[in-house]
């Protein structure tokens, strides 16, 4: 399949590395503890992320892990108004909705979302149908067979990357059969989802196997538990580990990087792209005169 990636009004070239900034409309996010739960705070966070170099904004209304129940109307209330406000202020920005629910996706797309970020591996099969019917993009992920908002327990795979590849390419192929645009599909190994730390480290070092499928790869590494366990660090001290995993993933072919901290991620990706030869230096003076 083609390596093109078109989301909303943006077309991303094969060597272009994009930052997807996380904006959580939740009071209990593991990272920001509700700092962007208020609508005005969320919009300010979007403005800052765009100023720091984010090309995509991912808006979510439900914490990934276990917690208080959030029903469909509440998830819609938390996310759809923010999507509409962001679309009005940033007509060219790619907006993603982090949801596994088709009912939420329908309202989000109507408000201006360009991408359905399904981190729960097709838990609602109708989500891909929404993408097909509306022409928006879709993220196909691997959650290790878990139901939404559950944590792994004694996760085990004969070969974790083989399982990841079978799942995400199967979901991508199904999406194409349903009518989802091939150039709007990304695949995501979903670090930590249904996996232990050793699994997440292994899929990181083997990420080239995902890139070799031809589908654009999205990684969500930011301050994940596998980084915390690897370095024995709390959530607020995982930036260096996140950036290391981001650099490795970029070198091995990932295209989109979901991140809490946009500026350092953007700078790191620009440097990797320049080392790789996909991006010229911003300036080049030394040794030329």
Residues with catalytic annotation?
A: 224, 258
Residue 104 to residue 83: CA distance in whole angstroms: 12
Please report which residue ranges of the chain form alpha helices under DSSP H: 39-51, 72-89, 102-111, 126-134, 160-178, 197-205, 208-211, 225-231, 239-251, 262-276
Phi-psi region of 58 (alpha: psi -120 to 50; beta: other; left: phi over 0): beta
Which uninterrupted H or E stretch holds 44? helix 39-51
DSSP string, 108-138: HHHHT--EEE-TTTTSSTHHHHHHHHHT-EE
């Amino acid at each position: 399949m083609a390596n093109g990636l078109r989301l909303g009004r943006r077309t991303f070239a094969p060597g272009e590395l994009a930052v997807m900034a996380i904006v959580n409309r939740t009071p209990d996010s593991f990272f920001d503890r509700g700092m962007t739960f208020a609508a005005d705070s969320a919009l300010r966070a979007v403005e800052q992320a765009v100023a720091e170099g984010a090309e995509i904004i991912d808006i979510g209304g439900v914490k990934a892990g276990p917690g208080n129940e959030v029903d469909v109307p509440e998830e819609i209330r938390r996310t759809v108004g923010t999507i509409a406000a962001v679309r009005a202020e940033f007509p060219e920005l790619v907006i993603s909705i982090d949801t596994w629910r088709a009912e939420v996706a329908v309202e989000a797309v109507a408000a201006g979302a360009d991408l359905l970020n399904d981190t729960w591996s097709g838990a609602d099969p109708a989500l891909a149908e929404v993408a097909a019917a509306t022409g928006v993009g879709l993220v196909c992920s691997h959650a290790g067979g878990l139901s939404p908002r559950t944590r792994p327990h004694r996760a085990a795979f004969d070969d974790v990357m083989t399982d990841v590849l079978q799942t995400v390419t199967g979901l991508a192929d199904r999406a194409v059969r349903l009518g989802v645009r091939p150039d709007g599909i990304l695949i995501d190994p979903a670090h930590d989802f249904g996996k232990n730390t050793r699994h997440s480290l292994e899929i990181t070092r083997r990420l080239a196997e995902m890139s070799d499928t031809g589908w654009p790869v999205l990684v969500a590494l930011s301050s994940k538990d596998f980084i915390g366990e690897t370095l024995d660090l709390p959530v607020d001290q995982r930036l260096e580990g996140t950036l290391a995993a981001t650099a490795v993933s970029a070198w091995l072919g990932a295209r989109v990087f979901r991140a809490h901290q946009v500026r350092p991620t953007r700078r790191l990706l620009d440097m990797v792209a320049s080392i790789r030869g996909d991006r010229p230096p911003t300036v080049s003076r030394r040794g030329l005169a």
